[in-house]
Structure 1
Amino acid sequence: MFKIGGIFIPVTNVKKSIEWYEKNLGAKLIDSWEDGAGFYLPNGSTQLALVEVDTKQPTEFVIKGNKKNSYYNFVVDDINLAYKHFHENNVTTTPIKDFGGMKYFDFYDLDQNPFSVVDEQVDSPFHSNNVRKLQNMD
């Protein structure tokens, strides 16, 4: 009945951010409006929207102490290729880390919004193929 329709990202300059998201994430513009723009990514069905704000807004939450977690992540098949792509385009990233077989790193957009990139292991219950199997069982 429900599925994720869109993710909204606060940005302070929508025009510059449109260019950044197109270049660095391969986002394809669907349409724009006075203070925003909507995109699709070549893979997946969730849409992405940039919404212009006056001041920076958080795109992460605090777990414990000062440890933070982003609200959403991007999944890739080849994390090393994604990491190389960001470095070639001078995008700030953290080092690639291994978390129980899953590899991940964070990157930051023009407003320093943090996002995670993950490369889920094939045998993980969270891998898209395994989730698809669960969906087909319903």
Structure 2
Amino acid sequence: MSEKLIRIGTIYLPVTDINRSAKWYVRHLGAKLNYQDDDKAILDLANQSIFLVKSGEGESANFTDHRGNERFSVTFEVDGLVELEALHGDFISLGMEVGAIEDRGHAGRNFVFYDPDGNAFDVWSELSPSFRHLAHKE
């Protein structure tokens, strides 16, 4: 079977305050704000369209696995351990909620960070092969 789905076009994230969250994503993650109204903000971030959608208190994109561990639904990639460590330090200096750099028993290292609504995101020090090719062309 040939690949029918080419890429993920949009990720939807629940947030309680559209304005606060849009500003946070722009300031802390370097997102580009494309559109905003009372119900949503549309961002470009990490080669991805992100919709911040107004939701009720306590909503998040996180879930609990079968062992009771809270999990994230999105992993961002950086190009190597040096980049991961630098980004980790940058996030800490911005006052973001950031976990420790972890060795999870597979290639590379990871850390988790959170947005103001508690949405968890992972960062991995390994680029996917198609992006590694692009990153090293420049």
Identity of aligned residues (%): 30
The one of 105, 113, 125 equivalent to 1:107 is: 113
Q: Deviations over 1:100-127 (max 9, x none)?
A: 232111111111211111111xxxxxx4
Matched, 1:128 2:128: yes
Deviation for aligned residue 1:4: 0.9
* Unaligned stretches of 5+ residues in structure 1: 121-126, 134-138
Figure out how many residues of one structure are paired with residues of the other and give that number. 125
Structure with bigger strand share is: 1
Alignment map for 1:1-138 (pairs within 5 Å): 1-2=4-5, 3-41=7-45, 43-44=46-47, 46-77=48-79, 78-99=83-104, 100-120=106-126, 127-129=127-129
Question: Contact 1:11–1:56 (CA<8 Å) still a contact in 2?
Answer: no
- When the two chains are superposed, the root-mean-square deviation of aligned CA atoms in Å is 1.9
Deviation for aligned residue 1:131: 7.7
* Unaligned stretches of 5+ residues in structure 2: 134-138
In 2: Cα distance, 1:54 partner to 1:67 partner: 23
SS at 1:37 equivalent: strand
TM-score, length of structure 1 as denominator length: 0.81
* Greater relative CO, 1 or 2 (CA 8 Å, sep 6+): 2
